[in-house]
Amino acid sequence: MEQKDSYHYYRIGLEYFESGELESALESFLRSSESEPHFKTCVRTAHVLRELKRFEEADRFLEQAYRLNPKNDKTGIEYAELMLKRGQTFPAKKILNDIIRRNPTYGPARRLLTELVNENDFLKYEESVPVLKIQAEAS
Protein backbone atom coordinates (compact mmCIF):
# COMPACT_ATOMS: atom_id res chain seq x y z
CA MET A 1 0.00 0.00 0.00
CA GLU A 2 2.84 2.40 0.79
CA GLN A 3 4.23 2.19 -2.73
CA LYS A 4 0.83 3.10 -4.15
CA ASP A 5 0.68 6.08 -1.80
CA SER A 6 4.16 7.13 -2.87
CA TYR A 7 3.29 6.90 -6.55
CA HIS A 8 -0.03 8.65 -5.96
CA TYR A 9 1.69 11.66 -4.39
CA TYR A 10 4.35 11.63 -7.08
CA ARG A 11 1.69 11.84 -9.84
CA ILE A 12 -0.12 14.65 -8.00
CA GLY A 13 3.20 16.45 -7.65
CA LEU A 14 3.77 16.17 -11.40
CA GLU A 15 0.35 17.66 -12.10
CA TYR A 16 1.02 20.58 -9.76
CA PHE A 17 4.47 21.11 -11.25
CA GLU A 18 3.14 21.16 -14.81
CA SER A 19 0.49 23.70 -13.82
CA GLY A 20 3.07 25.93 -12.13
CA GLU A 21 1.86 25.32 -8.57
CA LEU A 22 5.34 24.84 -7.17
CA GLU A 23 4.59 24.88 -3.44
CA SER A 24 1.86 22.24 -3.87
CA ALA A 25 4.16 20.20 -6.10
CA LEU A 26 6.87 20.35 -3.47
CA GLU A 27 4.47 19.25 -0.75
CA SER A 28 3.31 16.27 -2.84
CA PHE A 29 6.84 15.21 -3.78
CA LEU A 30 7.92 15.42 -0.13
CA ARG A 31 4.95 13.26 0.91
CA SER A 32 5.89 10.77 -1.79
CA SER A 33 9.48 10.65 -0.52
CA GLU A 34 8.36 10.17 3.07
CA SER A 35 6.32 7.16 2.03
CA GLU A 36 8.89 5.51 -0.26
CA PRO A 37 12.08 7.32 -1.35
CA HIS A 38 12.62 7.03 -5.10
CA PHE A 39 15.24 8.67 -7.29
CA LYS A 40 12.68 10.17 -9.69
CA THR A 41 10.84 11.83 -6.82
CA CYS A 42 14.12 13.22 -5.48
CA VAL A 43 15.02 14.60 -8.92
CA ARG A 44 11.62 16.26 -9.27
CA THR A 45 11.89 17.67 -5.75
CA ALA A 46 15.29 19.12 -6.67
CA HIS A 47 13.81 20.72 -9.80
CA VAL A 48 10.98 22.32 -7.81
CA LEU A 49 13.35 23.58 -5.14
CA ARG A 50 15.60 25.05 -7.82
CA GLU A 51 12.61 26.88 -9.31
CA LEU A 52 11.86 28.20 -5.81
CA LYS A 53 15.50 29.42 -5.56
CA ARG A 54 16.18 27.03 -2.67
CA PHE A 55 19.44 25.83 -4.16
CA GLU A 56 21.10 24.14 -1.18
CA GLU A 57 18.04 21.98 -0.56
CA ALA A 58 17.80 21.23 -4.27
CA ASP A 59 21.40 20.07 -4.30
CA ARG A 60 20.77 17.70 -1.38
CA PHE A 61 17.83 16.10 -3.18
CA LEU A 62 19.81 15.73 -6.39
CA GLU A 63 22.62 14.06 -4.47
CA GLN A 64 20.09 11.72 -2.85
CA ALA A 65 18.62 10.90 -6.27
CA TYR A 66 22.05 9.98 -7.59
CA ARG A 67 22.76 7.81 -4.56
CA LEU A 68 19.44 6.02 -4.96
CA ASN A 69 20.14 5.26 -8.64
CA PRO A 70 23.71 5.97 -9.79
CA LYS A 71 23.04 4.16 -13.06
CA ASN A 72 20.47 6.64 -14.36
CA ASP A 73 22.39 8.58 -17.01
CA LYS A 74 20.30 11.74 -16.90
CA THR A 75 20.54 11.98 -13.12
CA GLY A 76 24.25 11.25 -13.36
CA ILE A 77 24.76 14.16 -15.75
CA GLU A 78 22.86 16.54 -13.46
CA TYR A 79 24.88 15.35 -10.49
CA ALA A 80 28.18 15.64 -12.39
CA GLU A 81 27.25 19.23 -13.30
CA LEU A 82 26.56 19.92 -9.61
CA MET A 83 29.94 18.45 -8.68
CA LEU A 84 31.61 20.72 -11.24
CA LYS A 85 29.84 23.77 -9.82
CA ARG A 86 31.23 22.78 -6.43
CA GLY A 87 34.72 22.54 -7.93
CA GLN A 88 34.82 18.77 -7.52
CA THR A 89 36.24 17.93 -10.93
CA PHE A 90 37.62 14.46 -10.26
CA PRO A 91 34.32 13.00 -8.91
CA ALA A 92 32.47 14.58 -11.84
CA LYS A 93 34.89 12.96 -14.30
CA LYS A 94 34.39 9.60 -12.59
CA ILE A 95 30.62 9.90 -12.91
CA LEU A 96 30.94 10.81 -16.59
CA ASN A 97 33.40 7.96 -17.15
CA ASP A 98 30.93 5.52 -15.54
CA ILE A 99 28.13 6.78 -17.78
CA ILE A 100 30.24 6.45 -20.93
CA ARG A 101 31.34 2.94 -19.97
CA ARG A 102 27.68 1.91 -19.66
CA ASN A 103 26.42 3.94 -22.57
CA PRO A 104 29.26 4.95 -24.95
CA THR A 105 26.98 6.92 -27.28
CA TYR A 106 25.26 9.03 -24.59
CA GLY A 107 25.72 12.49 -26.07
CA PRO A 108 25.31 14.67 -22.96
CA ALA A 109 28.04 12.76 -21.11
CA ARG A 110 30.39 12.84 -24.08
CA ARG A 111 29.83 16.59 -24.61
CA LEU A 112 30.41 17.45 -20.95
CA LEU A 113 33.49 15.26 -20.81
CA THR A 114 34.84 16.89 -23.97
CA GLU A 115 34.34 20.32 -22.37
CA LEU A 116 36.24 19.17 -19.29
CA VAL A 117 39.08 17.73 -21.32
CA ASN A 118 39.36 20.92 -23.34
CA GLU A 119 39.41 23.05 -20.17
CA ASN A 120 42.05 21.00 -18.34
CA ASP A 121 45.55 19.83 -19.00
CA PHE A 122 44.85 16.96 -21.40
CA LEU A 123 47.98 14.94 -20.58
CA LYS A 124 47.31 15.06 -16.86
CA TYR A 125 43.72 14.00 -17.50
CA GLU A 126 44.81 11.11 -19.75
CA GLU A 127 46.98 9.74 -16.98
CA SER A 128 44.18 9.89 -14.40
CA VAL A 129 41.51 8.19 -16.56
CA PRO A 130 43.13 5.91 -19.17
CA VAL A 131 39.82 4.32 -20.27
CA LEU A 132 38.67 7.69 -21.59
CA LYS A 133 41.84 8.03 -23.65
CA ILE A 134 40.76 4.93 -25.54
CA GLN A 135 37.23 6.31 -25.91
CA ALA A 136 38.54 9.65 -27.20
CA GLU A 137 40.78 7.95 -29.79
CA ALA A 138 37.89 5.78 -31.02
CA SER A 139 35.69 8.77 -31.81
pLDDT for residue 66 is more than 70: yes
Tell whether 59 and 78 lie within a shared domain: no
Tell whether 43 and 25 lie within a shared domain: yes
Going by the DSSP 8-state scheme, the letter that residue 103 receives in this structure is: -
Question: Alpha helices of 19-129 — where are they, by DSSP H?
Answer: 22-35, 39-51, 55-68, 73-85, 89-102, 107-119, 122-128
Tell whether 14 and 42 lie within a shared domain: yes
Tell whether 103 and 139 lie within a shared domain: yes
Domain membership of residue 122 as a residue range: 70-139
| Tens of pLDDT, residues 71-115 | 999 999 999 999 999 999 999 999 999 999 999 999 999 999 988
Tell whether 60 and 106 lie within a shared domain: no
Tell whether 64 and 81 lie within a shared domain: no
Q: Which helix (H) or strand (E) holds 1?
A: none
Contacts for 39 with CB less than 8 Å, ≥ 6 apart: 64, 65, 66, 68, 69, 72, 75
Tell whether 32 and 60 lie within a shared domain: yes
Tell whether 62 and 90 lie within a shared domain: no
pLDDT value at residue 120: 61
Last residue of a domain, one of 15, 49, 69: 69
Tell whether 45 and 88 lie within a shared domain: no
pLDDT value at residue 116: 84
Mean pLDDT of all residues belonging to the chain = 87
- Here the CATH number for the domain that contains residue 5 is 1.25.40.10
Tell whether 1 and 65 lie within a shared domain: yes
Last residue of a domain, one of 69, 84, 102: 69
Tell whether 33 and 81 lie within a shared domain: no
Q: Measure the CA–CA gap between 63 and 111, rounded to whole angstroms.
A: 22
Tell whether 89 and 38 lie within a shared domain: no
Neighbours of 99 (CB within 10 A): 25
Q: Measure the CA–CA gap between 24 and 103, rounded to whole angstroms.
A: 36
For 51-77, the three-class secondary structure string (H helix, E strand, C coil) is: HCCCHHHHHHHHHHHHHHCCCCHHHHH
pLDDT for residue 30 is more than 70: yes
pLDDT bucket at 136, cuts 50 / 70 / 90:
very low
Number of domains in the chain: 2
pLDDT bucket at 35, cuts 50 / 70 / 90:
confident
